[in-house]
Amino acid sequence: MVIASELHEGMVVRIESQIYKVLELESKAGAAKMGGVVKTKMINVRSGRGWEPHFRPQERLEDLPIDRRQMEFLYADGDGCTFMRPDTFDQITIPTQVIGTVAKFLRSGEQVPVEFFGDEAIAVVLPRIMDARIARTAPPSHSQQDSAWKEAMLENGLATRVPLFIAAGEIVRIEVSTGRYVERAHADRKRTA
C-alpha cells in the first residue's frame, strides 16, 4: 500500500479492481482547515482510457509490482504491436489502444523496455522526447512571427504543428505522449531520454 502523497509518475496502482498507470501528478497543500489534494492523470492499462482522479494526501492506494523486460519490436498491425523476447523468442501482442501514441514511434528491430504486471504487458516505455522526420508541410517561411505555426505530417503518420521555418525532410523533436513539437533536432542527435 502507498499513500497518495507518495505517488510518482510511472507507478501502477489498483483502484476498484482496475489497473491504472500514473502519467502526471500535482500535489496541492491545504490551507487552514482544508486538507490538501493530489491531482493525477492516469491511464487504464487494459482499456487505454484516461482518468483524472483527485485524492486526499493520506488516502491509501494499492501499488502493484512492475517487471520491466527488454523486448524487440517486430511489427504493428491493425489490432496491436508484436514484440519478441530476444532470449526465449517468445512473442506477445499488445493492443494498440494500450500502447497509445507510443506505437507511432516504434521501429522494427528496435529493442525497447516493456512493463509487465504478472504476465500481462501493460506499457511500452520510450524516452519522453524522440526525433521524427517531417514528411510533408507547407514551404518554409522566415517571417517575423515566432509564434505562428503550420500543420505538418511526420513520416510515422502522426500529424503535428510546427513553426513556419520548418521544411519537409527536416528532423524535429516531438514529445511522445502528446505529439507536440519541441524543437528542431541537431544533426548529431538520434534519440534522447
- pLDDT higher than threshold 60 for residue 193: no
pLDDT, one tens digit per residue, over 105-139 is: 898 999 999 999 888 888 888 888 889 999 999 88
CATH class of 67-124: mainly beta
For 58-84, what is the mean pLDDT? 90
Write out the residue limits of the CATH 2.30.30.30 domain(s) in the chain.
2-63
- pLDDT higher than threshold 90 for residue 153: yes
Write out the residue limits of the CATH 2.40.50.140 domain(s) in the chain.
67-124, 129-184
Contact 94, 80 (CB under 8 A): yes
For 80-88, what is the mean pLDDT? 92
Architecture of domain 129-184: Beta Barrel (2.40)
Q: How far is CA 74 from CA 39, 68, 107, 152, 176, in A?
A: 37, 18, 8, 27, 20
Query: Side by side, which strands form the sheet with 129-137?
Result: 159-163, 149-154, 129-137, 171-175, 180-184
- pLDDT higher than threshold 60 for residue 65: yes
Residue 145: how many CB atoms within 10 A of its CB?
Answer: 9
Element (H, E) at 98: helix 96-99
The CATH number given to 2-63 is 2.30.30.30
Q: Whats the size of the chain, residue-wise?
A: 193
pLDDT, one tens digit per residue, over 17-29 is: 898 988 888 888 7
Contact 172, 162 (CB under 8 A): yes
If you average pLDDT over every residue of the chain, what do you get? 85
- pTM of the predicted structure, to 2 decimals: 0.72
